Chains A and B, each alone.
Chain A
Amino acid sequence: MKKTSIILSALFLLFITASPAFSLLTGEQAPDFTLSDQHGKPVKLSSYAKKFVVLEWLNRDCPFVKKHYDSGNMQGLQKEFTDKGVIWLSISSSAKGRQGFMTKEDAAHFLESKKSAATALLLDSDGKTGKLYDAKTTPHLYIVNPKGSLVYQGAIDDKASVHSADIQSSKNYVRTALEEALAGKSITTPSTASYGCSIKY
């Protein structure tokens, strides 16, 4: 009897170690969250039901993020789609004391100095939302459709590099996915491997 329970607990432990890390599949319901924005105001994902929502993980000091902000590429993409009614939520998951950590004042300054066209910059310094979405890199982008399903997750484009000069010849996955989604089409490339810095949880 005792032996059986030992075997069972060993099996159970095996199961735990072998069970997949939580990972979100494209097509699944995007988990809801509430985070504070640059004004300290709570923002809840599900309050944007009926809209397309982009989630963009950032770390202002990561060279891959700088590539897309210093060139204006990220802001251009934000402007193009927020003008079409898309909600764009930038999210910082850097923990306190780690690279890219932001207070709400830092977040407000970032939005203003970078001329960001994001709807809001949300602060996730405990990393809960980042981990909920299994966000691995900065940048890492997700698109949620008006029904709350995840329709895209991955890289901003197909050129993993830190050089702004590469942007022009890159294929922007997020633009393509948003154009297709807004046109009511299915998304050709719903998932890609994101590239960038690890998130400083």
Chain B
Amino acid sequence: MMRYRIHISLFLVYFAMLAPAFASPSHVKATLIAEQKTMEPGKNLQAGLLLEIEKGWHVYWINPGDSGLAPSLEWQLPAGFRSDPLAFPYPERFHIENSVNYGYEKEVLLTTTIYVPTSLLEGQTKLKARAQWLSCRDVCIPGEAELTLELPVKNKTAKLDSKWKKKFRLTGERIPRRIPGWISFAKAKGNLVILTLVSQQQIQMKNLDFFALEEGVLDHAYKPDITFSGNQIEIKLRVDSKRTDPLKNLRGVAVSQKPWVGNSKSLLIDTIIQ
């Protein structure tokens, strides 16, 4: 009998070891991580909010699409520190119900640059932040966590943390950026916007997609219609039919699984509509 009980409790311990990642009722585990092991006064630091998402659930991009809400991170930084807004890697499309959402499954790292003051003394520094997110499957559950990132301060060049550096590098490749050598312009045509991207080099694209950075701009469900000719790509997008005023600017992200340049798969577009 006794032995039986021990077995059961061992089983429970084993189970508890498997479970804690998603002990949170929102089905997301949130952690603050840094790309480097130490903090150097006067040098920037790459930090991030890592969201590990239970299978079947998703969290949202900066433009969540037809429903949902993007995660947020509110730092409570010590005096002299500053942070940039969160950078969101390009999303995936989810077709749910009658609507289309933009977001992430499994895992996402939202990165930010932290500016470390030059006056910082050697020792330990704690950076605190409050993370909030909405995770959805067929139902949605809001989640939040008070998080801490603790790093030693050292007056020498910081080494990258081998545990996280790959994740930061791979995420960096997915963060939309302007890429020299690509020119973009857009024109309106009825309820469509035609975005043209021109490169000086031969174009090699794969699984091209486009996501507007803001809600209420494009019809999220409309899969961009793409044509190539020579060194240019034409992307037809449909304007959100509920808009009552004409669209003046197009701000979004063009994604190609074959990188635009180097390893960058997402090209930041910010262009006026002629």
Partner-B contacts on A (CB < 8 A) = 18, 20-21, 23-27, 61-64, 98-99, 131, 136-137, 153-154, 160-163, 190-201
Contacts and interface: CB of A to CB of B under 8 A. Distances in A.
Interface in B189-231: 191, 215-216, 219, 221, 225
Interface of B: 64, 66-69, 96-99, 101, 132, 134, 136, 138-142, 191, 215-216, 219, 221, 225, 238, 240-244
A199 B242 contact: no
B143 to A, nearest CB: 10
A161 B69 contact: yes
Given A136-B67, A199-B98, A201-B97, A63 B191 contact: no
Given A63-B142, A162-B134, A199-B99, 13 more contacts: A25-B242, A63-B134, A63-B140, A136-B66, A137-B67, A193-B215, A193-B240, A195-B68, A195-B69, A196-B67, A197-B67, A198-B97, A199-B98
B138 A99 contact: yes
Most buried by B among A24, A62, A162, A193: A193
Q: Is the interface of B mostly helix, strand, loop or mixed?
A: loop
13 contacts: A20-B241, A21-B219, A24-B242, A136-B67, A137-B66, A162-B69, A163-B132, A191-B216, A191-B242, A191-B244, A192-B216, A193-B240, A194-B67
Contact of A195 (B67, B97, B244): B67
A190 B141 CA distance: 30
Contact of A131 (B98, B101, B134): B98
A61 B69 contact: no
